[in-house]
Amino acid sequence: MQYTTLGRSGLRVSQAGLGTMNFGTDPHAPTPESEAHRIIDTFLDTGHNFIDTANTYRGGTSEEVVGRAIAHRRAEVVLATKGAAPQGAGPNDRGLSRAHLTRALEASLRRLGTDYVDLYQCHVPDPDTPIDETMAALDDFVRSGKVRYIGCSNFTAAGIISAQWAAQRAGGTSFVSLQANYSLVTRAIEAEIVPSCRQHGLGILAYSPLGSGLLAGRYQRGIAPAVGSRLAQWAAMPSPMARAFVTGLLAERHFDIADEVNAVATELHTTAPTVALAWLRDRPGITSVILGPRSTEQLTANLAGLAFDLPKTISTRLDVVSQGTVTPAVNGQHNAA
């Protein structure tokens, strides 16, 4: 098992992270609790340790499921969650203010059944709250012992730099990680965000590594996403950004990339997801690739993909065919990983 320190910290995480957006207790959750427990046990039994959730996943029930599943193995887990997403209708029920983050963290700890999280992340930027206030609040969480490390998700390069400078001015805790949408069909972060992370000490946690399922063959050229699929749900949202994301992801160019991934997989006698995951694992700045399995079988296949030895010539070939891929975000957060 390979572990890497997370950014400019001493925290060691596995090259695979377990994303838990599919876990929940409602009847419509893609992964019921019993299967979620099997997935988590399999993940930990194979030596991986990084599990990521958020207070907005499945209305908070993802945190509850994760908390119950790891209760007897808490010391084995690098547990990450996120705050900022709306938790109510009130004006202070969202964002990165001290008022909201304090309540959000306490609620997450209750749902997770733990007295601390290893990594607490700002889920999305908040232009209405001064970054100095946010970083001071996060530093207080660390000093209280309720949080070990802090990170961000879906921040721009400028946002990352502003946050690190704010922490330095106050002599407080800095971010050690960034979660970002990154795959062969979503490489926009390479221009400015990856260099900023490397310069300012943030490890990159890549989510949606299979391009929201496009690189796994879940969507077909010229065919509308199936009813009930994630892209179909986004396409039906009133948000123009959500619809733009779907349109951008299903662009002809991205299907061309998916075709090349399939061709490579055939040549190497493996699967398209394996090729896509192995390519991403080797990108500069990547600390961990966050998988989002719905079943134990998917997890096992994805873990094998991350362990696959992708020839350098093939990686370069995929680099060339996918250069310049940019997909619009959904409310600045794609699938809110």
The pLDDT tens digits for 230-244 are 788 878 888 888 888
Q: What pLDDT is attached to residue 332?
A: 43
CA–CA gap between residue 239 and residue 226 (Å, rounded): 20
> Which amino acid is present at 127?
P
Q: What pLDDT is attached to residue 329?
A: 53
Contact criterion met (CB below 8 Å) for 209 and 253: no
CA–CA gap between residue 275 and residue 309 (Å, rounded): 9
Determine whether 219 is an active site residue.
Answer: no
CA–CA gap between residue 323 and residue 318 (Å, rounded): 8
Q: Which residue has the higher pLDDT, 250 or 280?
A: 280
Which one from 57, 120, 149, 207 is the annotated catalytic residue?
57
Instruction: Indicate if the pLDDT at residue 148 is higher than 50.
Output: yes
152 DSSP β-pair partners: 122, 178
3-state secondary structure at position 68? helix
Q: Among the CATH numbers 3.30.70.260, 3.20.20.100, 3.30.479.10, 3.40.50.800, which is that of 3-215+276-310? A: 3.20.20.100
> Which amino acid is present at 179?
Q
Kindly state the average pLDDT of the residues 79-84: 98
Q: What pLDDT is attached to residue 107?
A: 98
Phi-psi region of 95 (alpha: psi -120 to 50; beta: other; left: phi over 0): left
Distances (CA, A) of 233 to 79, 227, 258: 29, 8, 22
Instruction: Indicate if the pLDDT at residue 336 is higher than 80.
Output: no
State the average pLDDT for the chain.
94
Kindly state the average pLDDT of the residues 6-16: 98
The band of 252, judged by pLDDT with boundaries at 50, 70 and 90, is very high
Q: Comparing 35-44, 161-170, 211-220, which segment has the lowest mean pLDDT?
A: 211-220
Instruction: Indicate if the pLDDT at residue 203 is higher than 70.
Output: yes
Q: Please state the pTM of the whole predicted model.
A: 0.94
Q: What pLDDT is attached to residue 242?
A: 85
Buried b / exposed e over 109-139, threshold 16 CB at 10 Å, is bebbebebbbbbbbbbbbeebebbbbbbbbb
Instruction: Indicate if the pLDDT at residue 265 is higher than 70.
Output: yes
For 172-184, what is each residue's pLDDT tens digit?
999 999 999 999 9
Q: What pLDDT is attached to residue 207?
A: 98
| Backbone phi, psi, residue 307, to 5° | -90, -5
